Amino acid sequence: MRIALVCLIVGEGSMAKGYRALRLAKYLGRAGHRVDLLCSGENSTVRDEHFGRQIEEPLQNQSIKKNCFSMRRLINRVIYWPDPARQWVQPVMIRLKEIFRDCKPDVIIISSPPHSIQLIGMLTAQKYGIPYVADLRDDWITNHRLRFHTPLHRYVASYYEQQMVRKATGVVLNTEIVKKRFRKRYPVHNDKFFTVTNGYDEDDFEASANIDINNDGRKTIAYTGGMYGNFLYNVFSRVVEELRGSGLDKDWRIITAGDSYAPKPEQRDVWTHLGMLTPQETAGLLCRSDILVAVMPPGEQSSSGTVPLKIYSYLRAGKPIMYFGERGSTTELLNCFPGNITNDRTELSNFTKWLERVDIRSQFSPCKKSFAKY
């Protein structure tokens, strides 16, 4: 089967934005399908022998001067409905016309957010009669963390979601809670909704790379991923000072990785930030750590339909996970495996107190390798 897979951003450096689509393309290719991966030119370089080809279609307005960027971004948010990525739809449709002239695919898959790019699938299904599959990595209208700039933007998004469900052959969602929400909103189309969760790539763990970290005898608290603005940066800064105040800095250290700035120089004896790592290096860090920290992004509500992508790699690493956030899909998953601790977001302030009481050898069960078969 020939598949056209469209995602705004893919590539190893895109973190969660392109991880699902990239791995989807990889394993569909390994299953014997030809995958044409259509993406923007932003952070999207991919090399994999299983792709039919990678076609880059740069975003418009990429030459905006830095001093005008914030204003331009604000304008784009207002004039493009339901989100700024809407401006990408037309150039992609022009590119698809050229691609289809060469060889029309059997199916087109659109992986979002940004969800406005699902318009590409709707228009393609209508114009070319090709089956269209909508792959949603996050909820849309009932996403607690998605903010619409005006009521009109929300109205347009709601309309497009309805059209997506009506025109798609199938709608793939990433958690059961989100699937239940869609089934409640669109009972006539219940047979179109499927759940394919996120996950981890076993290849990353089989090829895990060692990180050059000084093994000074302290146990490691690790976190990988974004800091959600300054939210987690401030949390870790506070924990560093609390570790020092209680003397626990002699027993514990913090290691983080991801797209964030480094901690203050005076905190770097306790907190090391490694910056962006490859998936293989991330796997190596997780497997060498003692406790893995996961925090739900601010703005989420219970019951949450979100499972942060890092949770799956954390579980595969087989180390105890300390989760802070709303209850829902993530807590349901974590509670399937012994040794994990799930807390409300408010318990973040008690993290250091918990470390004072914990005995890492008795608090947690051995490595949870069973997740690899979950």
User: What residue ranges of the chain are covered by domains with CATH 3.40.50.2000?
Assistant: 2-198, 204-373
Distance between CA 60 and CA 193 in Å, rounded?
A: 33
Written in H, E and C, the secondary structure of 213-276 is CCCCCCEEEEEECCCCCCHHHHHHHHHHHHHHHHCHHHCEEEEEECCCCCCCHHHCCCEEECCC
Domain 204-373 has what CATH class? Answer: alpha beta
Q: Give the contacts of 144 (CB within 8 A, at least 6 positions apart).
A: 299, 300, 301, 304, 306
Tally of CB atoms within 10 A around 188? 8
- Per-residue pLDDT, 75: 54
- Per-residue pLDDT, 81: 59
Q: 64, 85, 67: which is closest to 76 by C-alpha?
A: 85
Q: Which residue has the higher pLDDT, 148 or 26?
A: 26
- Per-residue pLDDT, 70: 54
pLDDT digits (tens, 9 = 90+) for 134-176: 999 999 999 988 888 788 888 899 999 999 999 999 999 999 9
What's this model's pTM, rounded to 2 decimal places?
0.86
Strand partners, 171: 134, 193
Q: 168, 163, 199, 161: which is closest to 182 by C-alpha?
A: 161
- Per-residue pLDDT, 38: 86
Strand partners, 253: 220
Mean pLDDT of 198-220: 89
| Structure tokens belonging to residue 69 | 């960027």
CATH 2.60.120.590 is held by the domain 2-198:
no
Strand partners, 224: 257
Q: Give the contacts of 275 (CB within 8 A, at least 6 positions apart).
A: 257, 258, 259, 260, 262
pLDDT digits (tens, 9 = 90+) for 289-301: 999 999 998 889 9
Query: Is a pLDDT exceeding 70 seen at residue 80?
Result: no
Distance between CA 46 and CA 54 in Å, rounded?
A: 8
Q: In the predicted model, what is the mean pLDDT of the chain?
A: 84
Q: Give the contacts of 71 (CB within 8 A, at least 6 positions apart).
A: none
Please state at what angle helix 118-128 crosses helix 89-102, rounded to 10 degrees: 40
